[in-house]
Amino acid sequence: MTDAEIRAVALATLLSIAPEVEVDELRDDRTLRSQVDLDSMDWLNFLLGLHEKLKVEIPEADYAKLITLNDVVAYLQKKLGAG
């Protein structure tokens, strides 16, 4: 998958949890959770959605590394490449 494809999956997952998100206004290099109001349950569901769609295992210890949309895409790309 290309980075753009992974980003599209991540955005679709995000929209399923927070339908009010204005995708065009999201900055890929800014903290995702400060741009989108996601509580801990939303965040868990977001990661779970990525896990289900991309069949990628995300250990809890890695949650803290995923801060911006860029981080999420890079992390998933690495995982997909390794798998």
Partner 1 sequence: MIEFKLPSLGSDMDEGTLLEWKVGVGDKVKKGQVVAIVDTTKAAVDVEIWQEGVVHELIAEIGQKLPVGAVMALLLEAGETAPAKVGAGGTAKPVTAAAPAVAAAVPITPPAAAVVAAAAPGRRMISPAARKHAEEQGIDLDGITGTGPHGAVTLEDVENAAAARPAPAAEKAAIKPAEPQASRAADMRKTIAAAMSRSKREIPHYYVSEDIPLAKALAWLQAANAQRPMAERLLPAVLLLKAVAMALKRYPELNGYWRDGGFVPVAAINLGVAISLRQGGLIAPALLNADGKPLTLLMQELTDLVKRTRAGSLRSSEMNEATITVTNLGDQGSQAVFGVITPPQVALVGFGRVAERPWAENGGLKVLPVVTASLSADHRISDGHRGALFLIELNELLQRPEELEK
Q: Is the CB of 2 or the CB of 83 nearer to partner 1?
A: 83
Q: Is the CB of 4 or the CB of 61 nearer to partner 1?
A: 61
Nearest approach, Cβ of 27 to partner 1 (angstroms)? 18
What Cα–Cα distance (Å) separates residue 41 from each residue in 1, 21, 46, 80? Answer: 28, 17, 9, 25
Q: Is the CB of 33 or the CB of 70 nearer to partner 1?
A: 33
- Which residues of this chain interact with partner 1, rule CB under 8 A? 18-20, 33, 37-41, 44-45, 47-48, 51, 57-61
